């Protein structure tokens, strides 16, 4: 047994499934998860001393590259003044101001420690603000693991959701309506029949949890118009897309001003920081100002906030997003060209530093489209790339990420390895 294998066996004796978050267990691709002991720039190293070009990027936060020296220094400096105070600090104001400069729709901001907390709190806030119980989410969108949001579609349109996890009472999930993504008509019908009972609509404006699927212009416009018309709160869940698809997130690309926004991942630069925020009149309902309770012992943690402030500084340097875009496009276009040459049904697209690739003949636009992707080819490609030293997300339903440390040379290396991987899998089909 190699060391990854040994550690996985050991881990399973004490940690359920051997992991602290399910996708890490390689359940949908099979095989042994790599235990990582070091990350630097565009690379990660496993316990067998293998190096991988990393496109997981800690699932999004690592946009400036792993262990960026300036971020590490900011963290080290912050630790010298203490690890946590449970009291307000000046840097919490600085990071909130920085976020608002970048995303002006976030007029007031509250820091939390995970994306799950951010979306859970935003939903509670929307319910408290409107005095309504029902919420709308979309099939294939992931918003963390709070009860209201772990709901999958019912049997047809306009049915109330079913829990997608044991332990979520039906009584909770019946307040969550699940609609197909990018389906304007389903949205219009639901608002026509239930509009005045809907507290909020929560959406991944560029979905990254059913692989990468962008919302259409018509869809986001309908979201904004219908929520406004019916007094429902529009929540853009930009935990993944914020500072990732563009500096100002998907809302800057769409030209849409959501009522509330949730962010996370990148704003902690690898440390646990997330936030929700938006319209000042809505945010005024949060305790201690208002009646909607929300709190956190480690919220606004000084060490984490230091990492966040430095990361936000680095991403605002000149040409950061221009280069990120170019490199991500090089990869996405390159993979498509190579796959086509190998006669493999494959598509890819990218926005900013985020890309999706799909073993489908055409680009998918909703969860149902994604369900038709060829999972056997995905698994074969994933493992071929891994054995050549390229780490992709271990699931066909995840987006991948490029960082500022992924130079053109590293992208070219990746494409060279992908040529071998595609040739290998073409032989097996």
Ligand X SMILES: *Cc1c(COP(=O)(O)O)cnc(C)c1O
Task: Catalog residues that contact ligand X under the rule CB under 6 A.
Answer: 114-116, 119, 142-144, 204, 208-209, 237, 239-240, 264, 274
CA 81-113-57 angle, to 5 degrees, is 95
Quote the least distance from Cβ 194 to ligand X, whole Å. Answer: 24
Q: How far is the CB of 21 from ligand X (least distance, A)?
A: 7
Catalytic site residue 237? yes
Q: What is the DSSP letter of 35?
A: P
Minimum CB distance to ligand X, residue 75 (Å): 18
Question: Alpha carbon of 42 to those of 74, 354, 405, 407: distances in Å?
Answer: 20, 14, 5, 9
Catalytic option among 43, 55, 142, 358: 142
Which of 137, 265, 310, 379 is the catalytic position?
A: 265
Measured from each CB, the residue nearest to ligand X is 115
Closest CB to ligand X among 39 and 354?
Answer: 354
147 part of the active site: no
Minimum Å distance from CB 143 to ligand X?
Answer: 5
Q: Is 265 a catalytic residue?
A: yes
For residues 11 and 23, which CB has a smaller minimum distance to ligand X in the complex? Answer: 23
Cβ closest to ligand X, residue 149 vs residue 411: 149
Residue 260 and residue 236 in contact, taking contact as beta carbons nearer than 8 Å: yes
Q: Which is nearer to ligand X, 144 or 308 (CB)?
A: 144
Q: Extract the tokens encoding 64.
A: 């400036």
Phi-psi region of 144 (alpha: psi -120 to 50; beta: other; left: phi over 0): left
Residues 275, 110 contacting (CB under 8 angstroms) = yes
As beta bridge partners, residue 160 has 177
Catalytic residue among 237, 259, 310, 369: 237
Q: What distance in Å separates the CA atoms of residue 158 and residue 268, rounded to the nearest whole number?
A: 37
Please list, residue by residue across 177-197, b when 16 or more beta carbons sit within 10 angstroms of its beta carbon and e when fewer do: bbbbbbbeebbeebbeebbee
Residue 362 CA to its chain's centroid (Å): 23
**β-pair partners for 108:** 278
Q: Any idea which residues carry the catalytic annotation?
A: 142, 237, 265
């Amino acid at each position: 047994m190699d060391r990854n294998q040994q550690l996985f066996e050991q881990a399973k004796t004490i940690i359920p499934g051997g992991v602290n978050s399910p996708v890490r267990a390689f359940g949908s691709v099979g095989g042994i998860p790599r235990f990582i002991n070091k990350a630097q720039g565009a690379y990660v190293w496993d316990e067998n001393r293998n190096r991988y070009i990393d496109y997981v990027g800690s699932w999004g936060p690592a946009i400036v590259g792993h262990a960026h020296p300036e971020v590490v220094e900011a963290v080290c400096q912050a630790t010298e003044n203490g690890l946590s105070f449970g009291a307000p600090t000046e840097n919490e104001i600085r990071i909130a101001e920085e976020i608002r400069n970048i995303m002006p729709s976030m007029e007031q901001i509250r820091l939390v420690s995970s994306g799950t907390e951010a979306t859970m709190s935003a939903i509670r806030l929307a319910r408290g603000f409107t005095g309504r119980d029902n919420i709308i989410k979309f099939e294939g969108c992931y918003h963390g693991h709070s009860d209201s949001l772990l709901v999958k579609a019912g049997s047809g349109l306009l049915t109330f959701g079913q829990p997608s996890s044991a332990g979520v009472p039906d009584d909770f999930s019946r307040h969550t309506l699940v609609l197909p993504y990018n389906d304007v008509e389903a949205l219009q019908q639901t608002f026509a029949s239930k509009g005045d009972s809907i507290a909020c609509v929560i959406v991944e404006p560029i979905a990254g949890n059913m692989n990468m699927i962008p919302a259409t212009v018509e869809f986001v416009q309908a979201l904004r118009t219908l929520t406004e018309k019916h007094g429902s709160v529009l929540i853009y869940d930009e935990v993944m897309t914020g500072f990732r698809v563009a500096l100002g997130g998907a809302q800057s690309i769409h030209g849409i001003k959501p009522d509330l926004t949730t962010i996370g991942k990148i704003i902690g630069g690898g440390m646990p920081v997330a936030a929700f925020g938006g319209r000042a009149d809505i945010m005024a309902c949060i305790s201690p100002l208002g009646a909607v309770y929300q709190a956190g012992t480690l919220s606004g943690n000084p060490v984490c906030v230091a990492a966040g402030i430095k990361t936000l500084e680095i991403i605002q340097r000149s040409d950061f997003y221009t280069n990120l875009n170019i490199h991500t496009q090089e990869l996405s276009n390159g993979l498509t060209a190579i796959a086509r040459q190998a006669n493999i049904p494959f598509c890819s697209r990218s926005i900013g530093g985020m890309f999706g690739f799909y073993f489908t003949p055409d680009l998918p636009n909703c969860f149902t489209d994604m369900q038709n992707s060829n999972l056997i080819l995905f698994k074969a490609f994933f493992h071929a790339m891994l054995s050549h030293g390229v780490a992709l997300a271990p699931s066909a339903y995840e987006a991948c990420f490029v960082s500022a440390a992924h130079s053109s040379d590293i992208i070219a290396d990746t494409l060279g390895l992908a040529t071998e991987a595609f040739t290998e899998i073409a032989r097996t089909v």
